Amino acid sequence: MHLRRPLSALLLAACAACGDDPQVEVVTRTGDAAPPVAAADLVTRAQMLRADREREVGDPALEALLGEVPADDAPTPRPTRIPRASAPELVEAPVAEPLAGVLSGLRGMSVGPGPEGQPAVAYAAASDPESFAALLEAARKAPQAELPAIADALARTPTELWPELEARLLAARKARKADYKALLAGIGGDVPNRYGHFELAWKRAHGFTVKLSEDWYADLLALPPGRVSKALRGIHRDCVVTAALLRAAATIGREPARSEAVVDALLAAAYSHEGTFRDEVGRAIRRLGEPAIPGLLRRSLTPPLPADEKEAATVKASDAYRKAEYARVQLDRMDRLHPPKAIAAVRDDPRLLADLLAAYGVVRIEEAAAPLLAHVDAPIPRVRAAARAAFLAYVQGPAPRAERKTVRLLGGRTTEAPARLTHRDFARLAIRERIAAEAPDLQEPECSTIAADGTRDRVCEAQPERLAVAYFARIEAARRTREQAQVDDALAQPDRVTTVAMLDALLADNPELEMRAQLVPSYEAAADEAEAAGERRRAAGLLRKSAALLSEADPGRSTRLRLRALLVEAEIDELPAQGRAMLLATAESLAPDDPSVHAALARVAERPATAEEAGLRRRFGLLLLAFASGLAILLGLGYLLRASRTRAAAPAI
């Protein structure tokens, strides 16, 4: 036994005092444990390790794949021997970058301090394709300290640059998915495998303690540069740019004109580059919010599956089928897959509600039939029309083919039966229930779509459509009767002010009131009374309202009412001269040969200047006089200077 420490010796002595004499054998080493290695072998082994390291770090193919490494990311070069002084060589001037001027305009110094007390650089959001390209170039080459500011500018890309943003978001990437997965593992980024399975999310859901990123944008920017190897620095910057552009896309998608295009692009980005960014794309879709619901609903319609199993498997493996399934997944994650919840989420936005109801007419989800009937008599015309058209899409056209299942009967025989109800069956049940509650006289007896001889009963198949058309006609007639009664009640009022107030309330509730032409005489009479009382501004407003009500029914009369409104407003005494001139110019463009327009122009020419106009003219005259005086003084000084120079330059006699 080899004793090396005094503490071991003391312990052994204590044990000896307690019992028999211990048998201790002391062994002393006089040589090395391993045979000596030749110096030449050590040098050879070191050279081999160095060559392997250089191949690993400086692979030319990998360097070409990732592009140029920024200056602050490059390793510090080893010091070399100072060369002897030699003749100076001619050095070519560096070629200017084509986007350098644009980038210099985007870069500015912010007020807040940056890392290590240095001032942080702030970048302005892009305003045109050139500045957007400059930001992307800066994200690739700028120092690491400026990357958060560049990412923030990219996240604020405006709507006008959506085509450029979409092209960059869907651009092909040369690096492998495995390299992106290796980088994202540092922040807990969940990348699906080729089967679409998210390993980290599955582990988190089943009780495993794993790191799972819920915001790639923030986690990538917070990743220390020392934890990113040289081979993955270009991939890290590309991931930061992609996360920033996804944030910008979510903001742009909230605008009604861009919602459909943004949803299309995000669903495509979810499956680009083998689905690398699918987890972050899903968060961008959910960040978009309620405006994404109609677009996701339309794109959740899966292609029909053929009866052949191999062909059905091919369809399920297609991008169109997978995108449709992914759209349904996102609706489920947003808790908007169930029609009543989706409709309740957008009910305060008539435009979005009408768009959602129209989308149900395309997808024809079974559970949406009854909620559609709840909006077929909505007070807003756009919503009402969308709900009726969507429900008619459920009951019109050929009957859908129901899924069948095999049923085993008593005695061993088997037969086929419908596996579930179709959207036509749901619509039939919903319309029959609504008619039974509100219009029992329209009800038809139950029937079977399959006749006794096994053929289809076309009359019975068309029953839901007949019931829907009859019900819509009934509620539309009741609406017109109700609105006509309200109009008649308003017109019957003895006080003109009360009549106008009631008519204004009707138009506010229903801007597309069908009997709008009946309101015009009352508005015209109120305008005459207001003009006679000297209330020209109110009279002009009533005449413009009358012109708007007749814009479609009687365009000629609408133009005459608008012309009269312009002439009445031009007679307002408090109106500035510039405003009066603009009103009369518009009136002259509407009716150049109208005598009333020429008379109004003549009255304006003879009208004395108001105190305000006189003051403006006086100030303008004083300003012109001051300008002329200053110009004369400058000319005099110039003459004196030239004369003094001439005298100084003259030769002395």
Q: What is the pLDDT of residue 355?
A: 96
In three-state secondary structure terms, 121 is strand
Q: Report the percentage of the chain scoring pLDDT > 90.
A: 48
State the number of CA atoms in the 13 A half-sphere of 25 facing the CB.
2
Q: What is the pLDDT of residue 489?
A: 93
Nearest to 460 by CA among 432, 441, 438: 432
Write out the two tokens for 260: 């459909």
Round the average pLDDT of the chain to a whole number and report it. 81
More reliable by pLDDT, 58 or 554: 554
Beta bridge pairs of residue 108: 122
Q: Which residues contact 435 (CB under 8 A, 6 or more apart)?
A: 442, 443, 467, 471
Rounded CA-CA distance 253/269 in Å is 14
More reliable by pLDDT, 521 or 74: 521
Return the ∠ at Cα 540 (arms to 532 and 559), rounded to 5°: 120
Rounded CA-CA distance 535/512 in Å is 28
State the number of CA atoms in the 13 A half-sphere of 42 facing the CB.
4
Q: Which of 217-231, 294-308, 470-484, 500-514 has the lowest mean pLDDT?
A: 500-514
Residues 179-206 have pLDDT tens digits of: 999 999 999 999 999 888 999 999 999 9
Domain 493-606 has CATH 1.25.40: yes
Write out the two tokens for 442: 């329209």
Q: Which residues contact 625 (CB under 8 A, 6 or more apart)?
A: none
> CA-based diameter of the chain, in Å?
146
State the number of CA atoms in the 13 A half-sphere of 290 facing the CB.
15
Torsions phi, psi for 404 (to 5 deg): -110, 155
pLDDT tops 60 at residue 495: yes
pLDDT-based confidence at residue 38 (cuts at 50, 70, 90) = low
Residues 100-158 have pLDDT tens digits of: 556 566 665 443 444 444 445 678 999 999 999 999 999 999 999 999 999 999 999 99
pLDDT-based confidence at residue 602 (cuts at 50, 70, 90) = confident
Q: What is the pLDDT of residue 216?
A: 95
Q: What is the pLDDT of residue 603?
A: 79
Residues 318-352 have pLDDT tens digits of: 989 999 999 999 999 999 999 999 999 999 999 99
Rounded CA-CA distance 79/54 in Å is 18
Q: Which residues contact 166 (CB under 8 A, 6 or more apart)?
A: 249, 261, 265
Return the ∠ at Cα 197 (arms to 191 and 201), rounded to 5°: 70
Nearest to 588 by CA among 575, 597, 576: 597
Q: Which of 77-91, 92-106, 223-237 has the lowest mean pLDDT?
A: 77-91
More reliable by pLDDT, 402 or 225: 225
Yes or no: say if 368 and 360 are a contact pair by the CB < 8 Å rule.
yes
In three-state secondary structure terms, 491 is helix
How many C-beta atoms surround the C-beta of residue 388 within 10 A? 24
166 to each of 53, 87, 161, 177, 264, how far by Cα in Å? Answer: 40, 53, 9, 21, 10
More reliable by pLDDT, 531 or 603: 531
Write down the domain spans for the chain.
121-337, 347-481, 493-606
Q: How many residues does the chain have?
A: 653
Rounded CA-CA distance 519/504 in Å is 10
CB-based burial label for 315 (10 Å; 0-12, 13-18, 19+): middle
